[in-house]
Amino acid sequence: MSMINAQHWNQLPKLLNQFSTNHDLVYIEAFFEEESFHEILAQSRLYRKEVEPDIRLTNLTSSMKPAELTYIPPSDEILFGGLYESKELKEFIQCIVNRPKLLTFNCQRYVVYRPGQGLDWHKDVPTYIDPEYSAILTLENETDSSFKFRDASRQVHTIHTRSNSLLLLKAFRASHKVIPCTYGSRTAIIMEYTPTKSKGPLFYPNIFFYRFLKLFRK
C-alpha cells in the first residue's frame, strides 16, 4: 500500500515545476495517507521526552534561539517505521529533484520548535560536493510560526507549515528563515539525502566543530 497520498504521484509535473520556480524548494500539504501519517505521529511522541538543545546551531550569530533536537540515532536504529530509508519516499523525492539515485547518510532528526526558537535568513550549508536535499515532515504545528523563503526571482513567500506537510529543499539554494512562534510548539522530522558521498570542504570542519562542542558541554 502506498504511504504517500496518491494525488501527489499524479501531480508530479506540477511539483517539479514548483521545485524549479522556487529555487529548488517545494512545499506539499497532506503528504502521507492519513493512516501512515498517524503511525509516524504516534511513534514520534515517544521521542518527545528526549529533546535536548541542538548544539550544532549555537555558533550562529542570531538573536533567535535554535530549535531543539532529540538525537541522531545509530544507523541500525529504525525510527518512524523506517521512513527515512523508505523506497517509496526516496523514489518520490528523486522524481521531484530529478536525480536518478539519492542516498541516505544516517542523517535524520526529530526537532521541536518552542516559542522564541527560529532561524534567521540562511542557506543550508552543504557537507558534500553535490549539495544534499532536506525533507522536512511537519508532524504537529499548533503555533503562529511561519517559514519564509526567496524564490528564483528573489520574491519572498510565507508558509505556515501544516501538520502532515513535506518541505523539500536543496542545500545552498533557496534562502529561508524560520520565524519563531509566540505560543505552542511545532514538531518535525528532518531527513537528509545526498546524490553523492564525495565530501565537500566543509565536511570535516562540521564534524570537528560538532564533536568539540559536545565534549565541551559534558
Question: Of 27 and 37, which has the nearer Cβ to Fe ion?
Answer: 27
- Nearer of residues 43 and 134 to Fe ion, judged by Cβ: 134
Nearer to Fe ion, 4 or 171 (CB): 171
When asked if residue 124 is in the footprint of Fe ion (CB under 5 A), the reply is yes
CB-based burial of residue 148 (10 Å sphere; 0-12 exposed, 13-18 middle, 19+ buried)? middle
Determine the angle formed by the axes of helices 87-97 and 12-21, rounding to 10 degrees: 60
CB distance 172 to 125 below 8 Å: yes
- 174 in Cβ contact with 151 (< 8 Å): yes
Determine the interface stretch with Fe ion among 53-61, 83-91, 119-127, 197-205 (rule: CB under 5 A). Answer: 119-127
Closer residue to Fe ion (CB): 4 or 111: 111
* Minimal CB distance residue for Fe ion: 124
* C-alpha span between 89 and 177 (Å, rounded): 25
Give the list of residues 6+ apart from residue 42 with CB closer than 8 angstroms, or none.
Answer: none
CA-nearest of 2, 72, 71, 3 to 39 is 3
Shortest distance (Å) from residue 177 CB to Fe ion: 9
Candidates 88-96, 108-116, 117-125, 187-195; binding stretch for Fe ion (CB under 5 A):
117-125
Q: In the bound complex, what is the minimum distance in angstroms from residue 176's beta carbon to Fe ion?
A: 6
The distance of closest approach from Cβ of residue 9 to Fe ion in the complex, given in angstroms and rounded to an integer, is 27
Determine if 192 is a binding residue for Fe ion (CB under 5 A): no
Residues near Fe ion, by CB under 5 A? 124
